[in-house]
Amino acid sequence: MRILVERCKQVAKSSSSVMIYGETGTGKELFAQSIHNASSRAEGPFLAINCAAIPENLLEGLLFGTEKGAYTGAESHPGLFEQANGGTLLLDEINSMNINLQPKLLRVLQEGTVRRVGSTRERKVDVRVLSNINIPPEEALTSHKLRQDLYYRLGVVGIRIPPLRERKEDIPLLVQSFIARYNKRLERNVQGVDSHVLDIFAHYDWPGNVRELQHAIEYAMNLLPEKRALLTVECLPEHFVNLEVPKSADPLASSKVMDTHKGPLRRKTLRDVERAALVQALKRTGGNISAAARELGMSRQNLQYHIKRDQINLEK
């Protein structure tokens, strides 16, 4: 995620189109907003539209604008491209846009001009277009949900946000962040979660990704009795309570009991425990990074990052 954030900071410096791929709930719009905020267009507008939520006949007018009399009841109104002039326009779930509307979008991107529905006049626009897609772009192309020429125009830079199941080591920090957020919103003083909760989180696949984790923490904090300061299993949504955790619980997860009031000290202790778990796994697998990564439930690239970060000598 650190590499991904640095890459987005670099991408923000240009005006090239960016396509962000990630499953539902991974935070695609958050990344898009951050790219805008870090760009030279930050003072300009940031507008977003969900292409899946708007019917085709309305989406065209919303994007490109309308002229009075274009159809019954139509009034002269600028579309989102005109409204976002000098800023950024995010097309969310671009794969849900009707294939018949995509050529007009492509023309706007190529020419830098927009023609309102019912008008013959071209209007110059200066808009950076970001797009989100919740299925692999290759799948969108082969299933004809996205035109190939439009993909090459929108996906000049491609960003993939990994699902939460591929970065479970981030769960404790995310939990800590959500607890802090909902402490303020719900006027609570929750200090952390117990180790059993983190074991459950570590063995869950998170189909709803970070959004599902956020919901689980908010749910638990609403159910937690007033006098208690630690989130426990019985406060979680029912499908977590009934989740069976293997006896050989992930050593990385079970050590991550967190206290939001002891951040720096707790993180240092956590790193020591994590390092020891990594060293043991590498010893058991004879230094085989792929085998150790599978045992620890993390990606090979992520394990390599931890080895480099913690200066683990594979030859010992």
Which DSSP helix (H) or strand (E) runs through 47?
A: strand 46-50
* CB contact burial 185-221 (16+ within 10 A = b; e otherwise): eeebebbbbeeebbbbbbbbebebbbebbbebbbbbb
Report the pLDDT value the prediction gives residue 258, as an integer from 0 to 100: 47
Question: In whole angstroms, what is the distance from residue 171 CA to residue 155 CA?
Answer: 30
pTM above 0.85, yes or no: no
Q: At what angle do helices 102-111 and 56-64 cross, to 10 degrees?
A: 10
60-101 pLDDT tens trace = 999 999 888 767 667 888 999 999 999 999 999 999 999 999
Contact 47, 80 (CB under 8 A): yes
132-173 pLDDT tens trace = 999 999 999 999 999 999 999 999 999 999 999 999 999 999
Question: In whole angstroms, what is the distance from residue 183 CA to residue 295 CA?
Answer: 35
Question: In whole angstroms, what is the distance from residue 163 CA to residue 159 CA?
Answer: 13
- Ranking 18-27, 51-60, 277-286 by mean pLDDT, the lowest is 277-286
pLDDT band at 280 (very low <50, low <70, confident <90, very high): confident
Domains of the chain: 2-161 (3.40.50.300), 165-309 (1.10.8.60)
Task: Give the HSE-up count for residue 186: Cα atoms under 13 Å, Cβ half-sphere.
Answer: 19
Contact 52, 238 (CB under 8 A): no
288-300 pLDDT tens trace = 888 888 777 667 7
Which residues, in sequence order, are bridge partners of residue 124? 113
CA dihedral 270, 272, 273, 278 (to 10 degrees): 120
Contact 80, 108 (CB under 8 A): no
* Residue 110 reports pLDDT greater than 50: yes
* Residue 253 reports pLDDT greater than 60: no
